[in-house]
Amino acid sequence: MAKPTFTAHKMLFLNTLAFTICFAAWMFNGVTVTFLVDNGAYDWDSVQIGWLLGIPVLTGAIFRLPVGILTDKYGGKWVFGGLLILSAIPMFLLSYADSFWEFALYSFGYGLTGAGFAVGIAYTSVWYDKDWQGRALGIFGAGNAGAALTTLFAPTILQNLTNNGADIDNWRMLPVIYSVVLILMAVVFVVFAQNKKPDTQRTMKKLLKPLGNIRVWRFGLYYFLVFGCFVAFSQWLMPYYVNVYYLPLVTAGILAAAFSFPSGVIRALGGWMSDKWGARKVMYWVLGSSLVISFLLIFPKMEIYSPGNGIMAKQAGEVTQVSENKIIAGEVEYNLIPRNETDFEETNRDFVFPKKETWQEPVVSEGQQIQKKELLASGETKIFFQANVWVFTILVILLGSVWGIGKAAVYKHIPEYFPDEVGVVGGMVGVLGGLGGFFCPIIFGYLLDGTGLWTSGWMFTLFISAICLWWMHRTIQKMMHKEQPKLMRQIESKEKN
């Protein structure tokens, strides 16, 4: 195994730093839109918020393929530098936006930062041999932690700029700050980067040929989940925490960063795991874990009233006494469970598991003639589930970390199956993943609007996780039958016995 050079490591550092800056800018709307709506600057509904969160992600998605092709053709130095400068212009113009459509237009422009991923993947892979590519691409992917930088620091910066919302129009300084950072990163990159292209140059027809392979689209679906949903929730968790748990924006930003940061950093571990145990085995674990954790997150904060165990008359007769605690009918005394309803919202305790209270209410009156087995008191049950914020946060951090490992595992597959088309295949897979980041906030907005449940987003990830796991397992079973039919017959025979 050839040892990577100092230049390779230097380029990996520059690519990762530039990608981190790009990702931080790409997630700009998640904090800013939530802040502006929360402070009454704009009256945007959940669907409009979903669109504004998704629009910059759409730009990053659709430009990943052409940017990946340009990187394979011209090398990453000039492509990455140019992308950073072009993205800074609409980011700066966003400071002049004063309507939904202006915000949407400039957001579409600065969303080009999301295409930096395709540049970095192609530009990083040319510096490393196959045995090191999993680790190198995993380290590069840690730039996803840029999302955590925005959710962690931007809320505090906005609070300071606007004097805690009193001077709301001062939010316009934040896109100016971001545009300056993008320009500075472009200068650093162009000055210190060394250009390099793949050894073999191919025609456009040959470059695009892998896109006809169903495997590319299957990898894209995996990435739609592990990257697209990650991007979506990196922004969606801000309004989620504010609306479901009534947390201040700064606290919501810290907890959202707790989701984003580990997912970015752990991607490097995912690259190492994929090199050591194989990307296929890692993906089995990732998709299975995503399925289980998504299921645990679908239960909303709720308070349910339901019929409970009532009391029926043991014999016929006249009702002679009715009170909160007992009923006397036909000379038989029936003890009731009195109502002592607890307001769980007002208690200063955190509940992990649902709480239940039951009571019985009389449905007869004194002097009434009753028959045997006639209902005397109806049963009432109250079930309260707090959806504890700390349990919720632990679960989303685990899910984000699992998806971070999955992102590295997906991209470990690409140089193995398409060693000469990493840029175009990586770009296409990135497009599909980026489309997940675009469509998911919009889907979440419509699901929330239709169901009234914030947890409907987790129902969607449960559905996608199940499809990915089923498709992967079905494909592997077919491959095993084709490549090792005798071994598969022995396995199936043992399973039947």
Quote the tokens at residue 91. Answer: 């980011």
Tell me the per-residue pLDDT of 169-202, one tens digit each, with 9 for 90 and over: 999 999 999 999 999 999 999 999 888 877 665 5
Is the pTM higher than 0.75? no
Radius of gyration of the chain (CA): 28
pLDDT at 176: 95
Distance between CA 265 and CA 282 in Å, rounded?
17
Distance between CA 360 and CA 356 in Å, rounded?
14
| Residue 422 confidence class, pLDDT cut points 50, 70, 90 | low
DSSP 425-466: HHHHHHHHHHHHHHHHHHHHHHHHHHH--TTHHHHHHHHHHH
pLDDT, average across residues 427-436: 80
Tell me the per-residue pLDDT of 118-156, one tens digit each, with 9 for 90 and over: 888 888 888 887 777 777 877 887 787 787 788 888 888
- Give me the domains of the chain, ranges plus CATH numbers: 6-299+389-486 (1.20.1250.20), 302-385 (2.40.50.100)
| Residue 207 confidence class, pLDDT cut points 50, 70, 90 | low
Tell me the per-residue pLDDT of 236-275, one tens digit each, with 9 for 90 and over: 898 889 888 888 888 888 888 888 877 767 877 887 788 7
The residue among 487 and 107 whose pLDDT is bigger is: 107
Percent of the chain at pLDDT above 90? 25
The enclosing H or E element of 168 equals: none
pLDDT at 495: 35
Is 80 exceeded by the pLDDT of residue 339? yes
Q: Give the Å distances, CA to CA, from 275 to 218, 270, 475.
A: 20, 9, 21
| Residue 496 confidence class, pLDDT cut points 50, 70, 90 | very low
pLDDT at 45: 84
Q: Give the Å distances, CA to CA, from 165 to 29, 95, 155, 190.
A: 17, 17, 11, 38
Quote the tokens at residue 364. Answer: 């007869």
| Residue 290 confidence class, pLDDT cut points 50, 70, 90 | very high
Distance between CA 107 and CA 111 in Å, rounded?
6
pLDDT at 488: 47
Does residue 468 contact residue 221 with C-beta atoms inside 8 Å? yes
pLDDT, average across residues 201-228: 78
Distance between CA 366 and CA 329 in Å, rounded?
9
Q: What is the mean pLDDT of the chain?
A: 84
Tell me the per-residue pLDDT of 16-66, one tens digit each, with 9 for 90 and over: 999 999 989 988 988 899 889 888 888 888 788 888 988 998 888 888 878
DSSP 178-208: HHHHHHHHHHHHHHH------SS---HHHHH
Which residues, listed in sequence order, are joined to residue 318 by a DSSP beta bridge? 369
DSSP 327-345: EEETTEEEE--------GG
Quote the tokens at residue 341. Answer: 């309803």
